Amino acid sequence: MNPGAAAFVPGSYAYASEPQLPTVQIISTEEDLHKLLSWLGHESIISVDFEGADLSKGAWRNGEKLGSHVDHGRICLMQIGTRQGFAVAVDIMMLGARAFELGLAMILESDRVVKVVHDFRQDADALKHQYGIEPRGIFDCQLCNVFLRRLDNFRTNYVLGSSKLLSSYRIQQGSVAGYGVVTQEQKQRIHTRFSQDRHLWERRPLPADMVQYAVEDVKPMLQLQQIMFQELVQKLGNQQVAWQLMLEGSQAYAADFLDLECRCRLCCDAAANARFDGFRLKQRLQAVPPQRLPPHLLSRVLGREEDQEPLTAPGPSCFYVNSMDESVPLPIQ
Ligand SMILES: [Zn+2]
């Protein structure tokens, strides 16, 4: 612990010498975190993802613990990838709020560092309700895909998972020992393992294959973002306009769950979270000043008839927590 450490300012880090990359795949000491932060001082765009147990609001809301019926929802890892192909996981379980205080919160909340994510809704919900962090400067690839499909007049009732999205762009995904290349099917296998043990991400030491899985997830995201963004620029005919749309859109999309009941898989039917709610997104974006998001641009991507009404609330979860503190599927009625 070093409470006197200077505040970290993204993009303006002063170096006594060239920063050294941490050599570990998971960062669980402040010393390694400082190394990572000094390295990230160089970066204007990074990919970010979180892993945790039943991420969304969890048992905390507005800084207060809710009833003790089910204590759930905990951010365990924050994975970060850079343009050089370097990726690492920060152990939030071990470092706690300190990890954010030392600089990660500043990076997340800074407009000067773009965070490329894929579906940030549950992550943003967990960050806000567990740590009071409100990320800015986000580029959400899942949302970009929705906009691209809409500009091509395709249906967008459902959002795409990251594996599907990556393979649709023929981007090679990493491989994990024991699982091979992370395909949609492999992801499903790993997710089945998670859903059987809801505390899997909380275990320490984390199994090496899980760390690797988490880290591999952020590696291809910057390549994906570059390709998708170029496509969006082409369709909209203007780079600045495309950038504005993505930043304002991703900000609004990340806030999608904030005012709703917990959307974790213990509180609602997880599959319902894959529906795209154009109404809620449009409502948030209509509040953005026109100089930041011209109304004609908004109506190009969110002017469909289906955007006139919100989606129905998700149904109940398919899981419950039993007396052994395991999440188990509800018996099929
Ligand atoms: Zn929940």
Please tell me the distance between residue 117's alpha carbon and the centre of ligand 1 in angstroms.
Answer: 21
What 3-state class would DSSP assign to 136?
A: coil
d(CA 186, CA 42): 34
What stretches in the chain show pLDDT beneath 70? 1-22, 59-71, 177, 179, 194-195, 333
**pLDDT the model gives residue 17:** 53
pLDDT on residue 316: 86
> What is the rounded CA–CA span in Å between residue 157 and residue 155?
6
Structural domain span for residue 130:
26-310
Q: Ligand 1 centroid vs 68 CA: distance in angstroms?
A: 12
How many whole angstroms from 9 Cα to the centroid of ligand 1?
33
Q: What is the pLDDT of residue 12?
A: 45
24 close to 173: Cβ distance less than 8 angstroms = no
Distance 272 CA to ligand 1 centre (A): 14
- How many Å lie between the centroid of ligand 1 and the Cα of residue 97? 21
Residues lining ion ligand 1 (Cβ < 5 A) are 262, 264, 266-267
Give the 3-state secondary structure percentages of the chain, helix then strand then coil, rounded to 5: 45, 15, 45
* 332 assigned to some structural domain: no
List pLDDT tens digits, range 37-65.
998 988 999 999 999 888 887 766 556 66
What's the CA gap between 180 and 160, in Å, rounded? 22
In a domain, 239, yes or no: yes
Summarize pLDDT for 222-238 with one digit per residue, the tens. Answer: 999 999 999 999 999 99
Domain at 277, CATH number: 3.30.420.10
110 Cα to the center of ligand 1, angstroms: 28
- Separation of CA 66 and ligand 1 centre (Å): 11
Rounded distance from Cα 317 to ligand 1 centre (Å): 9
- pLDDT given at position 3: 47
Q: Which pLDDT belongs to residue 333?
A: 62
Q: Is residue 326 part of a domain?
A: no
- Residue 268 Cα to ligand 1 middle (Å): 7
Confirm whether 5 is domain-assigned.
no
According to the model, what pLDDT value does residue 244 have?
96
13 occurs within a structural domain: no
